[in-house]
Structure 1
Amino acid sequence: MTAVPVRRLALLGGGFSIDDDGLLDAWVLGRARASRPRVCFVPTASGDAAGYVERFLAAFAPRACEPSVLPLFRRELDDDALRAFLLSQDVVYVGGGNTANLLAVWRVHGVDRLLCEAYDRGTLLCGISAGANCWAAGSHTDSFGPLTSLPDGLGLLSGSVCPHYDTEPGRRPSYRAAVATGGLPAGWALEDGVGALFTDGVLTEAVTRTPRAHLYRVEPDGLSAARERALPCRLLTEGK
């Protein structure tokens, strides 16, 4: 009897693009299904920024993995090759940038459907900022300038996501207001430094690279307000 693949995705409040210690990236690789995983970086949200790609390759080339990059603004793969490439990956790591643009470009190229298929086949999906927002049904974003709600994600994770909960001015009150008024469903708010792993849609692990960073569950309280609950996070250290 064929085993049903475990479906996993990880929301990241850090990684190679903003951290020097590599702890969250090592944590992600340790959750992959292979000991030497194929890791594809998808920099769509940044417009395939060359510097972002270079930082990814510099961070992951020395690790026990096989890194690659999927550019879409100068796409080279036809539809069949694109599907084969994405479904062969053990980890898909999505970079930050503009969430709305990311989703629009993915849909034009059919990448949204392929990532859903890869997820169902056991590929670990993860990312930071826009790369965390995209997996949920909705997200809190500055894609349009001011902070606002975007109820238009892939829906692989029910509810909503808010990144940069502690570091960007206005994030916390704006997200809480969106959840309180129904602009976004209840969801997950990540402070920078946090990683959250979901298995078949259920939170199964929460970690942090900094002692004071938290993952929050934010829900409406029925009184036109929202309540937040800090969840325990295991502190990451070198080699663990």
Structure 2
Amino acid sequence: MAVEPLPRLALLGGGFSTDDDGLLDDWVLAQARVSRPKVCFVPTASGDAPAYVEQFRTAFRSRPDCEPSVLYLFRRELDDDALRSFLLAQDVVYVGGGNTANLLAVWRTHGLDRLLREAYDLGTLLCGISAGANCWAEGSHTDSFGPLMYLPDGLGLLAGSVCPHYDSEPGRRPSYRAAVMAGQLPAGWAVEDGAGALFTDGVLTETVTRAPAAGVYRVEADGSGGVREHVLPCRVLGPARSLSP
């Protein structure tokens, strides 16, 4: 009897838009439920920016180990039934960076939030970088409104909060720690650029890094007015595997 795949999602601190080695993207594809997954890029957070889409196409269209596609919402072409059929046929949904708050608003307008929950429950791997990592949690640390601040909103597929770019952008670390300490965000996961975290049915099951200095952290209030930060051991990825047909 076939075993139903467990719901999984991955938080990425890199990928095709930031890295040349393809290690995090290789890792993501290796987590898919099939050996040659259908991979859908969702660039909503950038307003479906053409240059961002072209980066994805350049990185993925020549790969023999996946079938890439792009889901546009700012010039949507699919009706509700076709959108559901298309999304549920994907093995990996890869969400790009940009504005987290705008992404959530647009998704809800088009009903994509409900479809992503359905896909997640059926075993589609959900992943993304920056806003594409923030969106899966109950809350996140974001610059969606200009200055860095807390956003107590998200799809809630991952309990707690997420902070991307933990050590690569000025102010990220102290601002996120302050939000968790004050209870403005629940305890959560901070991802540095170059690292990745995989969750299976809501439980952390693997942390990886393409750069040994980059890591993943668990950040939580310590119960006495402070904050506790725990760095998690990461498996170092590499070398990149051959993509020759």
TM-score for both structures, normalised by structure 2: 0.96
Q: Which residue of 2 aligns with 1:151?
A: 152
Q: Which residue of 1 aligns with 2:98?
A: 97
Cα displacement (A) at 1:2? 5.8
Unmatched segments (≥5 aa) in structure 2: none
Cα displacement (A) at 1:239? 4.2
User: Does residue 86 of structure 1 match 2:90?
Assistant: no
Cα displacement (A) at 1:4? 3.3
Distance 2:49 2:239 in 1: 30
Q: How does 1:130-209 map to 2 (within 5 A)?
A: 130-209=131-210
Distance 1:2 1:185 in 2: 37
Distance 1:4 1:26 in 2: 23
Q: Which residue of 2 aligns with 1:15?
A: 15
Could you say what secondary structure the match of 1:205 adopts? strand
Q: Which residue of 2 aligns with 1:108?
A: 109
Could you say what secondary structure the match of 1:106 adopts? helix
Alignment coverage as a number of residue pairs: 240
Q: Which residue of 2 aligns with 1:29?
A: 29
User: Does residue 38 of structure 1 match 2:38?
Assistant: yes
Q: Which residue of 2 aligns with 1:118?
A: 119
Cα displacement (A) at 1:238? 1.7
Distance 2:77 2:200 in 1: 32
Distance 1:139 1:239 in 2: 31
Look up the equivalent residue of 1:189 and give its one-letter code.
A
Distance 2:69 2:28 in 1: 16
User: Does residue 216 of structure 1 match 2:222?
Assistant: no
User: Does residue 55 of structure 1 match 2:55?
Assistant: yes
Distance 1:86 1:97 in 2: 21
Distance 2:83 2:30 in 1: 26
Could you say what secondary structure the match of 2:40 adopts? strand
Distance 1:225 1:19 in 2: 35
CA root-mean-square deviation: 0.9
CA deviations 1:75-133 (Å, max 9, x no partner) are: 00000000000000000000000000000000000000000000000000000000000
Distance 1:237 1:112 in 2: 34
Cα displacement (A) at 1:3? 3.1
Cα displacement (A) at 1:5? 2.7
* Residue pair 2:22, 2:240 contacting (<8 A) in 1 also: no
Could you say what secondary structure the match of 2:84 adopts? helix
Distance 2:191 2:45 in 1: 19
CA deviations 1:180-214 (Å, max 9, x no partner) are: 01000000000000010000000101000001111
TM-score for both structures, normalised by structure 1: 0.98
Cα displacement (A) at 1:60? 0.7
Look up the equivalent residue of 1:188 and give its one-letter code.
W
CA deviations 1:49-87 (Å, max 9, x no partner) are: 000000001101122100000000000000000000000
Unmatched segments (≥5 aa) in structure 1: none
Query: Identity rate of aligned residues, in percent?
Result: 78
Cα displacement (A) at 1:224? 2.0
Regions of 4+ moved over 6 Å: none
